[in-house]
Amino acid sequence: MSRPFELHGHRGARGLWPENTLPAFAHAITMGVTAIEMDVALTSDGVVLLSHDPILDPILTRGPEGDWIDPPGALLRDLTYAEAARFDVGRIKPGAAQATLFPHQQGMDGVGLPRLLDVLAIAEGARLSIELKTFPDHPEWTVSPEAMADAVLAVLDQAGAAAQARIISFDWRGLRYLHRVRPGLSLGYLTDGETCAAARLWWDGPSPDDFGGSTARTVAAEGGLVWGPDATTLTRSEVEEARGLGILVNPWTVNDPADMARLIDWGVGAVTTDYPDRARAVMAAAGLPLPPMLY
């Protein structure tokens, strides 16, 4: 029996609402997605916050007085939750390249970095795709992948939400740890050109070189059932190979409707997008069942 096609709202719905914020997740759920995708970091007092970067991003962050912070931005691991919560991340800095990339994003004021626990409180019934943001090439930026994995698990268990979560990461050390300590937890193995080129570092041992250059076979050797490749370099033959191995292919970040339609035709099992509204239209045109609108 085939699995239903999955629609993942990237950082909530970054093309429409401020990324990794409660408004973005709430609107994505209202719009109708299979899962809300998010990135996590850990504060100095052990609180799991949502942030794509290990720092307060100067392009997205204003201080308590409304001024944009200066680069490079403090490491979140050096801030307490109370300190991090003072900042506003509801807008993209005017004139930044990112503002040009997302002209339809609705900026907001008074939007802080949410805790993972806050997201779970509004996401009842929605699935979550939670990316562990650890960096083998910069271990000083975050806690260890094992420590971050444990912190996320603790929040999920507190909320009774482990069954609705998939943990994903480019750093396969955290995934390997979770595969060992929590068998049966849904895991997603992320890849891009940089991490594939430095696979021995990012994957802590295995490399596509060990499997005839096949990333899909490397994922399968880890016991992976979900592969999240960079959509810009993914090929049809790679999708076919992964499907033959029983792997669901979930490319990121797919924002052009023509690309969405092409990938669906190739047989991917999911897409992650900044624009869930566009993806729903493409899914409908392809005759795929649409995720329900939960609110």
Of 276, 136, 280, 121, nearest in space to 201 by CA: 136
pLDDT value for 295: 61
pLDDT tens digit sequence for 33-44:
999 999 999 999
Going along the chain from its start, the domains and CATH numbers come out as 6-285 (3.20.20.190)
Residue 239 and residue 249 in contact, taking contact as beta carbons nearer than 8 Å: yes
pLDDT value for 114: 98
pLDDT tens digit sequence for 226-265:
999 999 999 999 999 999 999 999 999 999 999 999 999 9
Residues 11-30, mean pLDDT to the nearest whole number = 97
pLDDT at 202 over 50: yes
Of 260, 267, 266, nearest in space to 283 by CA: 260
Task: Report if pTM > 0.85.
Answer: yes
User: Percent of the chain scored above 70 by pLDDT?
Assistant: 99
C-alpha separations of 101 from 33, 58, 270 in Å: 22, 17, 23
Residues 118-127, mean pLDDT to the nearest whole number = 91
pLDDT value for 130: 98
Residues 128-134, mean pLDDT to the nearest whole number = 98
pLDDT at 1 over 50: no
The values of phi and psi at residue 26, to 5°, are -60, -45
Binned at pLDDT 50, 70 and 90, residue 3 comes out as: confident
**Cα distance between residue 144 and residue 35, in whole Å:** 26
pLDDT at 135 over 50: yes
Match 């649409």 to its residue by tokens. 290
**Which residues fall within 8 angstroms of residue 193, CB to CB, at 6 or more apart?**
230, 233
Binned at pLDDT 50, 70 and 90, residue 124 comes out as: confident
Q: How far is CA 166 from the centre of its chain?
A: 10
- Average pLDDT, whole number, for the chain? 97
